[in-house]
Structure 1
């Protein structure tokens, strides 16, 4: 006896548990709260490709995850784009938790403003300092977002230096989603809480994040490209460092341009 799949309308035998065309379950029942909750839990914890297994593998195997996914083991791992967007959602949720930010008295914090006698010049300098404070607040609150924005540039850097490895730009982008997503997850759930616990300044937490990022990038690409020599490890370290430094220059230039001119229209 044959039945019709309700998803793709393919005919198959009723003895089949899943549709051979689209893999949807053959025996469906009405949607209820238990069904929705079960599917959500299953999506994140499925033994073959759950996100917790992915985090474990990115911790223990790092670049091997991306290598196997790109080379065909797509069902084994949680999808890279889903992982990257989920990390972004977690970060946005955490960063939007209301926090008390005490108002800053620009003139009190910058005593040199009192020595400026020209009103127009003084007002101009006050606006400059206001933009600086807004930008510093933005960087502090959205540091992970800025790191995420580095993904296309990071992928381009690794593609540029490893063109002979026969991975195209999109495949380096996939590797970057796993690599950068994991770094941002560690920064959100480990480095930032430790910094808050020990009352470290934002500068220290940034340095810790950059050092971890540099080390993880190096190990990730060393394993991703299946290299086994000290020279190749040194190359992975150099390319990782150059990518991070170049992004720092680009973002730093953007920040300074905003502080100097306020080109985003925020005064």
Structure 2
């Protein structure tokens, strides 16, 4: 009999009956690293399965994740960070300097500095953007029964898929030199509107229109707040 290193409970079998901690941790070696990578990519529960489900049935898959089974899909925060990181790597590899916000003639300004931070930290900035879109969705679908945090989980998955869409177009542009990345924005909005509308069981065009409007207003709200904060900082510095 040994004591659990995590909660000090007596362990008689392979796992702690209190917290589930393994009685003996395996050493980290090549086999361990290989197992972890395969676990992340596993088609039944990992990234590939999550992408497949979010492509084919996003609304239903996310509803099931929230209400019934949270083991089949990759955790939403992990998903949005991984997909954002993938886009950042591709973006820097091919030197594609396209971002969510592109403000001309403001070099050296606080607004431009904030815009550059967004383009360098898509994982964090996407979560922030998701917060504002979630506020509008909560307003437009206030009778849906979903709370703000559940809607935020929805957006982590949807925005994560959006970053993968951007990544695919960025790779095509990087390899072919064709300016196709702007098209990804259109595809992203179509996908987002469809996925969000499906999540809320929108059966009429009005439901999808609300999903599109909430998404657009959320992005505009973030842009406006960024501009106001940047201008305010510049004014304070000058005075």
TM-score interval for Structure 1 and Structure 2 normalised by the shorter chain: 0.7 to 0.9
Q: Helix, strand or coil: the match of 1:150?
A: helix
Residue 186 of structure 2, aligned match among 211, 214, 220? 211
Listed as ranges, the matches of 1:115-264 within 5 Å are: 128=105, 130-131=107-108, 135=112, 142=119, 145=122, 149-187=128-166, 189-201=167-179, 205-206=181-182, 208-227=183-202, 229=203, 231=204, 233-248=205-220, 250-251=222-223, 254=226
| Deviations 1:186-235 (CA, angstroms, capped at 9, x unpaired) | 21x2112223344344xx523x23322221122212321234x2x1x432
* Number of residue pairs aligned between Structure 1 and Structure 2: 228
Matched residues in 2 for 1:25 and 1:256: separation? Answer: 51
Q: 1:205 to 1:149 in 2, by over 3 A?
A: farther
Q: 1:50 to 1:255 in 2, by over 3 A?
A: same
Matched residues in 1 for 2:194 and 2:64: separation? Answer: 16
Show structure 1 runs of 5+ residues with no match. 102-127
Q: 1:168 to 1:129 in 2, by over 3 A?
A: closer
Q: Which has the larger radius of gyration?
A: 1
Residue 249 (structure 1) shift:
6.2
Alignment partner, residue 19 of structure 2: 22
Q: 1:98 to 1:47 in 2, by over 3 A?
A: closer
Q: When the two structures are superposed, what TM-score results if normalisation uses the length of structure 2?
A: 0.74
Residue 79 of structure 1, aligned match among 65, 75, 78? 75
Show structure 2 runs of 5+ residues with no match. 98-104
Q: When the two structures are superposed, what TM-score results if normalisation uses the length of structure 1?
A: 0.67
Residue 166 (structure 1) shift:
1.0
Matched residues in 2 for 1:179 and 1:196: separation? Answer: 24
Alignment partner, residue 107 of structure 1: none
Alignment partner, residue 66 of structure 1: 62
